[in-house]
Amino acid sequence: MRADVKAEIISWVKVIAAAAVCAVIISQCIIVNAKVPTGSMENTIMTNDRVVAFRLFYLFSKPKRFDIVVFPAPDEPETLFVKRVIGLPGETVNIINGKVYIDGSSEPLDDSFTIGDDRSNFGPYDIPDDNYFMMGDNRELSKDSRYWENAGVREDTILGKVIFRYYRGFKVYS
C-alpha cells in the first residue's frame, strides 16, 4: 500500500474516532435524548416527540416549579420519564378536584398549561427533602407522582432540564 493512501486512511480513522469520542461525551455528560412515548405531557409535548435535556442545567441551581425534566421512572428505572416539576422539597402537596394546592394555600397553582378535566384527589403529601413532586400536563393520562410507590423524585436522579424538542418540529422550552 502506498504511503499517501495509508496516511489518508489513518487520517480518516482519527477523525471518525474523535467524532465517536465526542458523541459519547456529549450524550453521557452534556445532553439527554429522550422520546416521549405517551400522551402524559400533551399538549406541551406530544406522543412520540423527541426532546433534548441539558444535563448541566442544575449544576449550579435547583429545579424550579414548572420546569420540564427528564428522569428515570421511579418504579421502572430503565424507562425515562418527561414530567413537570410541581412540588419542591419540604412542601406539602394537596390535590383537590384536580387542582394543586401547595402548603395549605387557598389558591391553587396556575396550571393553565394542562389539558383534560381531571377531578382527582391526592394528598396531602409531604415532599421529603431533596425530592420533587412531578406531574404530566395531561393529568388524566399521566402516571406521575400521584401513582408511584415513592411519590417523590430524588434530585440526584433528575438527568436534566428539557431545553428543546427536535422531532416533529422544533420548539424551545424555557
Nearest to 77 by CA among 154, 135, 166: 154
Confidence of residue 5 (pLDDT cuts 50, 70, 90): confident
Owning domain of residue 116: 3-172
Q: pLDDT band at 138, cuts 50/70/90?
A: very high
- The model's pTM is 0.87
Which CATH number is 46's domain given?
Answer: 2.10.109.10
In which region does residue 12 sit, left (phi positive, over 0), alpha (psi from -120 to 50) or beta (all else)? alpha
pLDDT reading at 3 higher than 80: no
Q: Is 124 helix (H, G, I), strand (E, B) or coil?
A: strand
pLDDT band at 9 (very low <50, low <70, confident <90, very high): confident
Active site residue 40: yes
pLDDT in tens, 92-104: 999 999 999 999 9
Q: Active site residue: 83, 142, 145, 161, which one?
A: 83
Domain count within the chain: 1
Report the alpha-carbon distance of residue 172 to residue 174 in Å, rounded. Answer: 7
pLDDT for the residue numbered 23 = 83
Read off φ and ψ for residue 156, nearest 5 degrees: -70, -5
The reply to whether 83 belongs to the active site is: yes
- Of 11, 14, 27, 40, which residue is the catalytic one? 40
